[in-house]
Structure 1
Amino acid sequence: MTAAGADAAQTAGAEGKKPAQTEKQDAGKERKGNYDARTPNARTTYARSAKVEGKETAAAKKFRDSLGTQGVVEVDPNTGTPAQVTKLNGFLTGKSAKKATDVALGYVKAHPEIFKLSDADLGTLKLRKDYVDDLGTHHIFWTQVVDGVEVFGNGLKANVTKTGQLISVMGSPVSGLTTAAQSRSAAATPKVSAEGARSAAVKDVGGSAKSATASTSGVSTKFSNGDTAKQVWFHTADGLRKGWLTYTNSGGTKIYSHVVDAQTGATLYRKDLVSEGNGDALVQDNYPGAPKGGTQRVENLIYNKWLPKNAKTLLDGTSVAAWADVNDDNQPNGGETVKVPGTKTGAEYKLTPFQSASSFCSTSYICTWDPAKPDSWKTNMNQDVTNAFYLASNFHDWLAKAPISFTPAAGSFDAAGGDPVLLNALDGAATAANGGPDANHIDNANMSTPPDGTPPTMQMYLWHQPGATDEQDPWVPSSGANDASILYHEYTHGLSNRLVVDATGNSTLNSIQAGSMGEAWSDFYAMDYLVSHGLEKDTTAAGEVLEGKYVSHGELFRTQAIDCRVKAVSPNCVQPDGSKGGYTYADFPTIGGTPEVHASGEVWAQTLWDLRERFGRSYAMSIITRAMELSPNDPTMLDMRNAVVQADLVASGGKNADVIWTVFANRGMGWYAGVVDGGDAFPAEDFHKPPTGATTTLSGTVTDKDTGAPVAGALVYVGGHSSGYAGDYAGTTDAAGNYSISNVAPGTYPKIVVSAPGYELIVQSVKVSAGSKANFAPRRNWAAASGGGSVVDFNGPDFSSFNCGPGGAIDNAQGTGWGSTTGDDNGTPTNQMVPKYVDIKLPASVTVSAFNVDPSNTCGDPGSASTGQYRIQTSADGTTWATAAEGTFDATNRGKYNLVTPTGNTTGVQYVRFWMLSPQVPDFQNNCPAGAFGGCQFTDMTELQVFGTK
């Protein structure tokens, strides 16, 4: 259920009863995280945005102001064209009888001051998709194509109501594309072949490429194992280049999409596609032993048109192909397939209980294998695969119905469209030497979701680690394929990853905010199904609706129930600090102890359940699903709040806007709530609905805290209303350090953000009133590469090719960092740390006043890879070193800067050495190397800042 490892592999909490989302969720295979050369880190994005904002024309400003206080204009810092243009309290255009495509393109043509597209640019647009949802809204996608080659990610998206009103335009189209492509054509002839790009992509994630034959048609190549490679244009702030868009299955869960530079083979883009999570068959609708839906019944798989009439030996159906992938090679080998159930005398396959396998086994929670007998899963293999096939096929049909309406046009999974779900039940059940599952194939589930047209892979694992006691592993010995809430959770990752996409159809659920909503949507849609079918109880009482109730034997699988209202009184609605009631936005980083997508997402899941209770299931599911289709790329929870408001605007004309704002404000996602961007794990909450009345201008100066000199080119923006893009609620300082942001509603904004090259990022609360000013004084960060700092030495391996080399420690951005190994350079897991260091040369000799350190995991590694014990040394010449500070970080220090006060050796410093002395693996000596903690192999840190005076 998570891209980083085990979905809900929680261990027993301090109470010894309720499972808590703790470090074991980091267990599992090491994997590389997402990367995009268009936005390599937040600092680079801010700097580009500042330049774009500084070049805003009077006409563009007039356009932006014309949309009013609830207008949204966000300009992409790479293209200088809009990433999003919309309004929350109205439409961009009036009703029209024109075609939806003409309405959208007409608006773009009418506003060259903001879209900046010439006739030649408009000529590059190719209609990719125009589908209509159940509200009659057209969702339109144009790609940009030159010389038969598509631009990756950029293009146009537009949403138009059934009466011809334009809701929004998005996509960051490339201006001047034809000219740029012509100038690059000679130099852009690929030097790297499709086969070479496939190999480079596989190598990038540490996988292994199976031998496969290739067939090429035009600019696309398909390999016999299902991998693909297609030529694309890739646009960054540095210009246009030719690349290969690849889809590769590199073994196990290493399923990725890449863009590989066609000249150099370098990685331009990396997307982890895995989200962690003939007749009569005996199936259950909920889980074995459930009061409702817990008894096997007969379901005909052919009658329901899930299997063709001639199906015999493989559950290969209209939307799902299922088998037992016990060796985890993602292929249906001999002994792994299941005969289509049903005989002349009756239905197949009956479940055989293993009731002595654990103290958790009971008539209410029936165990389906015995971890003490690793190959006992074979007994119920046919039942397991068949039940998985039934659940996935059934959920496919349910999601296709109104009001969700996840149809083939919207991107659903169908054999007819070439992308049925490849369902690997009992995944890795025979990967250990004794015939059972190894540590990477237990207590988990996941689903990868490539773009429409490529089959996704769902992997369902066994639960309860062989050799572990019930206290050590508090899960019912069973399979994810027998828990409808788990399988439906995984399937919903496909829904969200197919609806929240860019113009070319790639999922944009990348950041921790977006990823948390991905997990929350999965819980929400799964439990909505079970409740709406009467399989799980949901009365007016709070704390009844529990995800994963089966494997957790009735205890909490998440930290709270999904139906916990704010201040609800229920044993299942108690916060970690002991206070009662459901979560609000500020709880985001603390729900599971540290920011993590499953735990942090609980606040979003509970908010969606609030909408379900306020509006009833049908209307709530409609506007929640439609909001995904209206979403900007990589949304924050505040972006998705806005999208829900817009969905209601389409559905009801906005008559429910006040109630919707009330629901979100009650959860701390009110008008003044703030986030720095999608990667902000520490949002600021607010409980106000949108203000009315006159707006004002926020202005002030940005100066160096130590020298008082003006800081030019700094981006100043209102977090939560801007995500670091140029546009509304943002401004750039001039040569005198002055900035101005117009059309701001009065009130207190908790996150006004200031970013300038070579300076610390400042986030401050500002009360805005008529004529108010806010001045900022950031400190010079002498270590920052953007201010002249440089890496001059380090030990350990260089992971720069994975975009997490030592330079990541001083790029002034928390979205990237320095990843290294714990032991030897190969990452061989042992219980002995080989200390790693990086030496930073400062641009001048300074007297150090403080250090700022974010010790967090990076490079796609799990939380246990964060730096634990550390030491900071200083030097005047880079040869003689002395200790300036040392200590130990723990999980509470992750995801944020931690101010470290030096204890000495602070004068005349021009070199700083940072030592990683241990990872944050609990009980490192005993849990490594045999344990599944990623920190046994890798140790990372995200950022080092150095403050002081010349």
Structure 2
Amino acid sequence: MAVGGLLSAVALVAAGLPAGAAAVEASPHLPLLDGATDNLDAVLDVRDVTRAVRPTTAQRDAAAALVAASGDGARLTWDRRFGTPRSLRRDGGYLTSPRTGEAADVARAWLTEHADAFRLTDADIAALTVARDHALPGTGTHVVTFVQTFDGKPAVRGGRMTVAVTKAGEIASYAGDPVGHGDLTGSYALSAGEALTKVSGALAPGVLSAVKQLGTRAGYTVFDRGAFAGPSYVKQVAFPTKDGARAAYRVQFVKALDEAWDVVVDASSGAVLYRASLAAHDASGTVYENYPGAPSGGQPVSRSFGPTAQSPKGWVDPTGVVGTGVTTIGNNASTYANYSNFLVPADQAPRPVAPTGQFDYVYKNRWAATKGSALPPSYVEDLNSAATNLFYQHNRIHDELYGFGFTESAGNFQVTDGAGTGGQGGDPILGLVHAGAASGGAPTYTGRDNAYMLTLDDGIPPWSGMFLWEPIDDAFEGPFSDGNFDASVVEHEYVHGLSNRYVAGGSALGSQQAGSMGEGWGDWYGLNHLFTAGLTTKAVVGQYVTGNAARGIRNYDYDQNPTGFGDIGYDVTGPEVHADGEIWTTMLWNLRKRLVAKYGAAKGAEVAARLVTDAMPLTAPDPSFLDARDGILAADVDRYHGDDTDLIWSVFASRGAGASAVTQTGDDTDPVPAFDHPAAVRNGTLSLKVVNATTGAAVSGAKVIIGRYEARVTPAARTSSTGGAALRMVAGSYPVLVQAPGFGVQSFTLAVSAGKTTAKTLRLAPNLLSTASGAKVVSTSSQDDGLPGTFAFDDTAASVWRTATSSTPYNAGPDQRVTVKLAKPATIDRIQVSAFPNVGGGRFATLKDFTVQVSDDGVLWRTVRTGAFGYQAPRPTAPDLNYRTFTLSSPVKAAYVRFFADSVQGDTSTAAQVAEIQAFGSSGALTPTAPAPDAPFTDSGTIVTGNPAAGDPTGLQNVFGVTGAEFTTTCALPVSSQGADGWVSKLPAGFGDGQHTVSVTGGESTPAGHDLDLYFLGSDCSLKGSAATAAADESTVVPGGTAYVLTQLYTGANVPFTLTARDAG
């Protein structure tokens, strides 16, 4: 169907490709598009990335010659979707000798010389248009971004080639995602207005709005906003495919100020080809440089709004030409109140007016004083001070980033771009003060406890909305505060504009890892400024708006974050851009700290900012963490001649993004971490032997995890049949977890020294409550059918016991319990518990208080331990809910253990969740046995009619067909309409543990073929996730909590199918 797999590319070393003609290669199942049918932030792409396009033999030969000509240390990677070179750089050097000519001409000539490697002709190279020619400040290097054209139409979401040319004319690096030679197919049968109507009808069903053309801007046809929040923009484009391009329209549709999408639709049919959210959620004046009350920058100060080196005409337009007088409008920013959810003309919006240019207002904090009164005066009394503060910060950030290279030719935000500077102009950032304050409170809270940035193409103004913050029970329990006064939040949002405009030439953050880095860059730049300006010594983002001085709005103070590349997906949310973005921030923050240690505070911070910013345009489109790492390495060679390459590799290797790390695509949520430096002299070897502490026998198949999280992370190694595992690692101290059936999860801290082998024998005590150790769950007082009590005793927090949902809050009802009989009586001295929720299960429905009882006979019980999981406001986070060990006051002998979930974190939650309960002590010899894989489950049948309306072709509305609608209404089997346009299969108990896979394969009954999709439903028939790509068949992971699978026929007729679910092993 039109819901596509996530866009990305795989890095394959040229020398490692097998011989043969152009082909495609099947890949393992892709990460689940959890909630793809109703998650409007998910990237949807019809291009099927389940099969990698292989370069031709001629391409490989040409690429090998290109790598050889580039010199020792050159590395070329391939784009998975198009089978063309994705990146090329050389460790410590350039790809060519100096050449003469303009940078764009030098770059084009180099591409022409190697056209065969790109599967392009000389004519294709000549037809490339220069989308951006940007000089990196201070180096003289030009980053030239070309865009492919097809019949004169520019390619979008592919077809980009970026070449860095040094001041001396050397080719420094290449990155891109071009498609090989091919034609434009299809036609522009639809008009621009009809394309917009198709998009608005899908994204805002039921909303009638007239289509009225207003004119043109930045190459787009502009349409009046009608019933929506802002105008929409449409233009003709070409949408690259593996063998050419499709005639298409690019539509930038603004439904609400914090809801807008970049949509590419087929110009003949209006079918959605691609969709991504554009919104990212998060004179002189008296301002706060940090936030009110901060130890540094927490007092109101007067700051000049006059000329700076980056804004030579100052920040304020002194003419008052907009009709309101001297106000918060200038070349870089326009700042005003936005109490509703619509854009209004600048001269009609409430904003401060200061005829003398003195924006000196007292911040009264009336929002907090009135305890969140939604009725004026409340926050309205602080409009002038809030607008002044936001205007100051937006201008300050403009100047800061301008100095780092985000200038006119890079696509920055300005009304007027200086003559000859490049860029479109006409796009100052719109700062929306108190965004949605009047309309966004109870009961929906759509205008509370958040902030956002919405970035459109160069030449179209972006906007950033700052919300009011208030405590919301069991959701976000922070203070009453005003987001306009938290400098870290304001800069985080602004930097979304930087990354969306600057990385790989702009509009190139379409993968999961890229979106995560978008969040991570925002945090990093905010902290970099605050530290450099001496305004903080704590690496905390959002302290003011959350009231949390220890970690702010994130899981950690970044000086204490233990996560790395293999931890993608570790958080309670599963893979999610904010959570995984913290991993990227941590890597960059460690890089900054190492550079500060090497050069001192001022120079170290400057070098870090230059490297991080220079790397953005040098990075491949839709990048992975590894692509962006390589961009930083390329930036170091260009600006600092490789002075810090060794340090950069050490930083990234220590966090799992080392030389041997692998990610299939930027959408890979299970990348393989590696901790090695490319220079062997920097590495040591960690040699482990894992044995059973009670028998001395080797433990095979154990996961060796570098980090502090176990669920949903990727191990660095698994032990062999002899219990051995070896890792090459850059020198350092590492947290290590070992997880194995029957042994639970056990933690160690190990150090590795360069040039040495660290040999360690890790003795694992058996987990006495594990079913793999012979323990048996004898009773569970309450459980969800998809998340049974046995899931708490399977040695992993990836699966979760959840009680049945009650009609009343859990804390007001009985304490549910689970009882386990040990394999044999044993002495217990400690209990280990994880309170992680099921993905999507809600962080406030997690375990708080618990009681542990033991018994000799299962009849008489005695309490041996109580415990609790607390959390730091405003909400429970991963470190609050991760494994904790509770030691008993004295060891006890037991044959049975009973665990009570006494309460949960949220008073309104109607169920409890416990991920894992483990017990350790002494038992004599105990030999756990890994459970045999579950026998595969199969179901088959014939589906009569394809239903393109089922599931919704845009993947947005969660519209089920006849069979799905009946089942989700009755939530009972059998289904009378079974086989009409779908088929419901009930999975065996235990298959919804997040550790099983499912595939569906259809037979061909018509020449037109078929398209089958999968939807996963819980025991209450709620949607848990989906796999709905353009592929005929589907294969993915069964999401946790799944009880039923709905196989839906999107296209085809009388299609026989077989569904198979099996243990992932």
TM-score (norm 1): 0.66
Distance 2:502 2:1013 in 1: 49
> Secondary structure in 2 aligned to 1:802?
coil
Residue matched to 1:545: 539
Number of aligned pairs?
707
- C-alpha contact 1:496 1:628 (8 A) present in aligned 2: yes
* 1-structure distance, mates of 2:442, 2:981: 53
Partner Cα separation in structure 1 for residue 546 and residue 318 of structure 2:
38
Q: Using the alignment, how far apart are the partners of 1:204 and 1:911 within structure 2?
A: 19
1:330–1:215 CA distance, 2 compared to 1 (3 A): closer
Counterpart residue identity of residue 280, structure 2: S
The question of 1:257 aligning with 2:262 is answered yes
User: Taking structure 1 as reference, are residues 239 and 209 closer, same or farther at Cα in structure 2, changes over 3 Å only?
Assistant: farther
Confirm or deny: 8 A CA contact 1:128 1:143 kept in the other structure: yes
Contact 2:963 2:979 in 1 (8 A): no
Distance 1:116 1:884, change over 3 A: closer
**Which is worse superposed, 53-62 or 309-318?**
53-62
Distance 1:876 1:451, change over 3 A: closer
Segment of structure 1 superposing worse, 492-501 or 92-101: 92-101
Is residue 195 of structure 2 the alignment partner of residue 192 of structure 1? Answer: no
1:519/1:352 CA distance change after superposition, 3 Å: same
CA distance in 2, matches of 1:61, 1:632: 20
Q: Which moved more, 1:53-62 or 1:405-414?
A: 53-62
Q: Quick one: distance in 2 between partners of 1:387 and 1:427?
A: 15
* Corresponding letter in the other structure for 1:801: P
The one-letter amino acid paired with 2:111 is V
Cα pair distance change 1:280/1:254, threshold 3 Å: same
Counterpart of 1:858 in structure 2 is none
Structure 1 residue 946 corresponds to structure 2 residue 946:
no
Q: Contact (CA 8 Å) 2:944, 2:981: kept in 1 or not?
A: no
Matches of 2:106 and 2:342, distance apart in 1:
49
Equivalent residue for 2:950? 798
**Paired residues for 1:381-392 under 5 Å:** 381-392=383-394
Q: Structure 1 residue 519: deviation in Å?
A: 0.9
* Structure 1 position 900, deviation (Å): 8.4
Aligned residue for 2:435, secondary structure, equals coil
Mapping 1:393-542, distance limit 5 Å: 393-401=395-403, 404-416=404-416, 417-431=425-439, 438-465=444-471, 468=472, 473-501=476-504, 505-537=505-537
Are residues 781 and 70 of structure 1, via their aligned partners in 2, closer, same or farther at CA, if it must alter by over 3 Å? Answer: farther
Equivalent residue, structure 1, for 2:360: 348
Distance 1:652 1:397, change over 3 A: closer
Q: Which amino acid aligns with 1:264?
A: S
- The one-letter code sitting in structure 2 at the alignment partner of 1:380 is D
Task: Give the Å deviation of 1:533.
Answer: 1.0
Question: AA paired with 1:195?
Answer: G
Partner of 2:275: 270
For 1:426, the aligned partner's letter is H
In structure 1, C-alpha distance between the alignment counterparts of 2:665 and 2:330, rounded to whole Å: 42
Q: What does residue range 3-22 of structure 1 map to in structure 2 within 5 Å?
A: none
2:45 is the counterpart of 1:36: yes
- Secondary structure at 1:649's aligned position in 2? helix
What is the distance in 2 between the residues matched to 1:940 and 1:383? 54
Picking from 241, 247, 251, the partner of 1:236 is 241
Displacement of 1:255:
1.4
Does residue 595 (structure 1) correspond to residue 575 (structure 2)? The answer is yes
Q: Is the radius of gyration larger for structure 1 or structure 2?
A: 2
- Report the alpha carbon displacement of residue 483 of structure 1 after superposing the two structures with TM: 0.7
Instruction: Please give the residue correspondences for 1:72-87 in structure 2 after superposition, counting only pairs within 5 Å.
Output: 72-76=75-79, 79-87=82-90
How far the C-alpha of 1:914 sits from its partner, in A, is 6.4
Higher relative contact order at CA 8 Å, sep ≥6: structure 1 or structure 2?
1
CA, structure 1 residues 147+833, in 2 after alignment: closer, same or farther (shift >3 Å)?
closer
Q: Aligned partners of 1:691 and 1:399: how far apart in 2? A: 34
Which whole-Å deviations, capped at 9, do the CAs of 1:311-354 have from their partners, x for residues lacking one?
2355332111222111111225898411323669x653211134
Measure the CA separation in 2 of the matches of 1:176 and 1:651: 35
Q: CA distance change for structure 1 residues 138 and 280 in 2, over 3 Å: closer, same or farther?
A: closer
Change (3 A) 1:586 1:914: closer
1:684 to 651, 660, 672: 672
1:652–1:522 Cα change, 3 Å: same
Q: Which residue of 2 aligns with 1:557?
A: 552
Structure 2 match to 1:755: none
How big is the shift at 1:478?
A: 1.3
Tell which deviates more after alignment, 294-303 or 284-293. 294-303
Q: Is 1:298 matched up with 2:302?
A: yes
Give 3-state SS (helix, strand or coil) of 2:50's partner: helix
2:428 and 2:248 mapped to 1: Cα distance? Answer: 28
Aligned pair in 2 of structure 1 residues 633, 295: CA closer, same or farther (>3 Å)? same
Which residue of the partner structure matches residue 139 of structure 1? 143
Deviation at 1:886, TM superposition (A): 3.9
State how far apart, in whole Å, the 2-side matches of 1:796 and 1:388 are: 47
Residues 632 and 464 of structure 1, relative CA distance in 2, 3 Å threshold: same
SS in structure 2 of the partner of residue 257 of structure 1: strand
Task: Tell me which of 117, 123, 128 is aligned to 2:126.
Answer: 123
Mapping for residues 763-842 of structure 1, pairs under 5 Å: 798-803=950-955, 819=958, 834=969
Note the C-alpha offset of 1:166. Answer: 0.8
Q: Distance in 2 between matches of 1:242 and 1:617?
A: 46
C-alpha distance 920-642 of structure 1, shift in aligned 2 (>3 A) = farther
In the TM superposition, residue 87 of structure 1 has moved relative to its aligned partner by 2.8
Kept after mapping to 2: 8 A contact 1:872/1:883: no
Report SS of the residue matched to 2:476. Answer: coil
Instruction: Give the equivalent residue in structure 2 for 1:202.
Output: 200
**For residue 650 of structure 1, what is the aligned residue in structure 2?**
638
Deviation of 1:150 (Å): 2.2
- CA deviation digits over 1:801-841, x for unaligned, max 9? 11479xxxxxxxxxxxxx557999999xxxx963679xxxx
Give the direction of change, closer, same or farther, for the CA distance of 1:121–1:881 in structure 2 (3 Å limit): closer
Q: Is the 1:199–1:209 contact (alpha carbons within 8 Å) kept by the matching residues of 2?
A: no
Quote the offset at 1:460 in angstroms: 1.1
Q: Distance in 1 between matches of 2:557 and 2:647?
A: 20
How many Å apart are 1:546 and its aligned residue?
0.8
Please name the residue that 1:612 is paired with. 592
CA RMSD of aligned residues (A): 4.5
Aligned amino acid, residue 669 of structure 1: A
Q: Which residue of 2 aligns with 1:284?
A: 288
Q: How many percent identity over aligned positions?
A: 28
SS of structure 2 residue aligned to 1:158: strand
1:731-761 deviations in whole A, cap 9, x for unaligned? xxxxxxxxxxxxxxx989xxxxxxxxxxxxx
- Residues 662-681 of structure 1 correspond to what in structure 2 (within 5 A)? 662-681=650-669
Residues 673 and 315 of structure 1, relative CA distance in 2, 3 Å threshold: same
* 1:512 to partner: Cα distance: 2.1
| 2:302 partner letter | V
Structure 1, gaps ≥5 residues long = 1-24, 358-366, 538-543, 565-572, 574-580, 694-745, 749-778, 806-818, 838-869, 902-909, 923-934
Cα 1:600/1:147, change in 2 over 3 Å: closer
- Cα distance change, pair 128–559 in 1 and its aligned pair in 2 (3 A): closer
- The separation in 1 between residues aligned to 2:647 and 2:210, in whole angstroms, is 57
What amino acid maps onto 2:237 in structure 1? V
Alignment-mate amino acid for residue 300 of structure 2: Q
Tell me by how many angstroms 1:791 deviates.
6.1
Residue from 889, 898, 901 that aligns with 2:996: 898
Tell me which amino acid in the other structure corresponds to 2:395. S
* CA distance in structure 1 between the aligned counterparts of 2:980 and 2:190, rounded to whole angstroms: 44
**Residue pair 2:77, 2:87 contacting (<8 A) in 1 also:** yes
- State the Cα distance separating 1:588 from its structure 2 match: 2.8
Residue in structure 1 matched with residue 988 of structure 2 by the alignment:
885
* Residue 675 (structure 1) shift: 2.3
The change in CA–CA distance for 1:873 and 1:624 in structure 2 (over 3 A counts) is: farther
Report if the CA contact (8 A) 2:40-2:956 is conserved: no
Cα distance in structure 2, aligned partners of 1:799 and 1:83: 34
Contact kept, 8 Å, 1:425 with 1:460, in 2: the verdict is yes
Going from structure 1 to structure 2, the CA distance change for 1:792 and 1:586 (only over 3 Å counts) comes to farther
